[in-house]
Structure 1
């Protein structure tokens, strides 16, 4: 096989792309990944991982603020935003280096540049001219460069970028996307966040924890629109207790930029008001990177900004596949990774299950954390299901009380006829670590009977999960 020929070429080195490449190499495929800027993608370099580093700094800072609640004395404390950012960027660099190591270990070739499909089985790669934040970074040592490359199987995993709305165009100075929000030149004393999805509330939580005056504006009537109504209402109450101002059913109609601030005109409740803040974060979602990669040239079908695929990543064109954000919501790193493995194993001819989006967990790392899987109560009822609902507050959990994290709730939704677990929704301390228990239960088609018969260790936060199940069936013990 020639140097420019591979079994599988993956366009994009983010979570979906690099995990798919590793699995392909494990299965004996000669594999290459085309990347133009950052191995590890947005998640490792500008998203999932470095934002969690920022949020961890904010969390520890907030603990200092109520150290006396733990019998501790902290006489003086503060923060250095430059040092916080430096730590976050260092962790991102570590992740990038880790992906390079994995590629070397698994003998995966890196092709550095912008890729475009020329025809089924062939791509053209040109030198990268511009990255997300400017000129592309230097290619990893040993990377292949511009040229024509061939493979029987080409997987598109080009990820997503921030959505831009008219009137909210980011300028990197006064109006930020999450890129600028992660790397501010100075800490803003006031902040307006437009959009209350995961990205919006995470940055609202980060900046508020460090002392910024924060306002969230959401066009829909509920913050965290994809979450269960009970969880969203609980989270809103906690955010407002922290001093975050929240406007729902509200729309930003105008931004007036001045030298030291931005004044937003907002329509809410049939009235108009203005809010002035040093910075604005536009957090109105993301869109897939499907432009300028040759999809039209080979006839790949798209619909409303995403590549149409089946549950295995196959497009309508033989030999062309798509995974991750470009293949549609939910636009989550773990969904992309799972899609990548499923796609490659399907190519190999292994027996695999098609992606079941109903069992993909979602996590938001604000304070308190939010995690969910499956149907919300409203969605279950829309489907005509008769449901049993269980709720358990963290105030009834000994471990939560001992941690000083008694503000939380666990909600479970069961089919009243069969006992099938339809959904689970949590907000509170470390719920992003707890949710996998419910995900496993749903994958195993567990009913309430198995969950009730399962022994949960004491004292742990996980006991809230079992108590919520017990509550759905009138058997709750600690409430």
Structure 2
């Protein structure tokens, strides 16, 4: 039996990136994937959804055509099926690229469902593989609420939603997190009547509350109904689709839709892996790991959504790299999950990194904040998208930027700089001093940092009144 240095179970962003990095480091690597490499993200998540969201941006631009001097835009029709077709073409191109990279790096890819089969052993079908190290990267799938099991037609998950060739006439989305608000934006762009139901007080409840409140106002101005602080009691199938019974501050309501999308989080794929027999510790189904991605069993690692640390594709990829580098004897700093960038791609987009103001206080920091409205940003005014703001959270004694929180059209283009600010532990003075090209979106970061020190240039300062922006130059 051939001996592998690394066997990786799962070919998503955590698994395939780990496999390529392991091969780069000279480790003999085998990757197991039961479907196609790329996992949920590339095949039925991040990539196809962002392709559809781009189509939605184009649709909205055409709808506003008269604003830009476009004549005849009023009679244009929009084909949602074409958006789905384009998204699948994008998936094929990217997944094909990943398959090429794996071949180019000499990774053996085995198609099938793999499981642990004893110390240093992985079984896939009727074959058994010996490996010095095993990395589990099996990901997660949509959480299903009791009594709301998906049927693929009326009650659906994001996977079915990404295959539908028609936007629903009426959609009820259960969950106001990233998946929920992205589909709300996309479907509403194609004319759907959308209701979002979120149990917690704001949309995107993991983000700064100011951002969730502004996103709700933005959505409602477009006709997207947002029921926050509202509990789903039950889903009743009807001849027209479904009726979702909810209760909240406005009492009990019945919300009807021809489609109900479940977007209430994810559960780990750990069933059938043989974890219990191998003695691997889990908590609420998620595999427990340390800062080197090691489980409690020597030689077994886990990365990505199956760990429950921070369920984002780029976090999984970073974990995968760190795991195989540790196997190869390369030690890097352990990941700081607080300082990982987070992005939501509805419009307006939401991007953040680090502590929210409330979380910083709870962590024991003494903080000050700076906030800069996009109404005061020349680039935003010129582009016709002034809704939103950039907010920085700063440690009072040291001036270190602890968090950056943003909402605005295409605002996630600023996350690259925000990540560097976090990695370099930059201060508000340093960010405010750095010269930013004009007119660009990143100027908003500079001004927000200056605002934290009371030095913002393009903000009107009025006593006993909220700060307002003055358009830059």
Task: Give TM-score scaled by structure 2 length.
Answer: 0.95
1:102 corresponding residue in structure 2? 101
1:66 corresponding residue in structure 2? 64
Kept in 2, the 8 Å contact 1:300–1:315? The answer is yes
Kept in 2, the 8 Å contact 1:31–1:108? The answer is yes
1:398 aligns with 2:396: no
Superposed displacement of residue 96, structure 1: 1.4
Quick one: distance in 1 between partners of 2:119 and 2:371? 52
Residues 383-422 of structure 1 correspond to what in structure 2 (within 5 A)? Answer: 383-422=363-402
1:38 aligns with 2:18: no
Q: Give the SS at the match of 2:326.
A: helix
Quick one: distance in 1 between partners of 2:289 and 2:174? 31
2:91 corresponding residue in structure 1? 92
Quick one: distance in 2 between partners of 1:240 and 1:69? 21
Q: Match for 1:216 among 176, 193, 196?
A: 196
Answer with 34-43 or 377-386: which moved more: 377-386
Q: Match for 2:266 among 286, 297, 301?
A: 286
2:306 corresponding residue in structure 1? 326
Quick one: distance in 2 between partners of 1:81 and 1:24? 41
Superposed displacement of residue 77, structure 1: 1.4
Residues 46-445 of structure 1 correspond to what in structure 2 (within 5 A)? Answer: 46-75=44-73, 76-126=75-125, 146-269=126-249, 271-445=251-425
Quick one: distance in 1 between partners of 2:280 and 2:353? 31
Quick one: distance in 2 between partners of 1:308 and 1:384? 26
Superposed displacement of residue 270, structure 1: 6.5
**How many pairs were matched up?**
458
Quick one: distance in 2 between partners of 1:397 and 1:361? 23
Quick one: distance in 1 between partners of 2:65 and 2:160? 31
Superposed displacement of residue 184, structure 1: 1.3
Q: Match for 2:20 among 12, 19, 22?
A: 22
Quick one: distance in 2 between partners of 1:19 and 1:384? 36
Deviations 1:9-49 (A, max 9, x none): 10000011000000000000011100000111111100011
1:133 corresponding residue in structure 2? none
Q: Which structure 1 segments of 5+ residues have no match? A: 127-145
Superposed displacement of residue 228, structure 1: 0.4
Deviations 1:402-449 (A, max 9, x none): 111111210000011110111000001222120121211111111112
Superposed displacement of residue 185, structure 1: 4.6
Quick one: distance in 2 between partners of 1:281 and 1:329? 25
Kept in 2, the 8 Å contact 1:11–1:17? The answer is yes
Quick one: distance in 2 between partners of 1:180 and 1:23? 32
Superposed displacement of residue 310, structure 1: 0.6
Q: Match for 1:452 among 424, 432, 435?
A: 432
Answer with 253-262 or 294-303: which moved more: 253-262
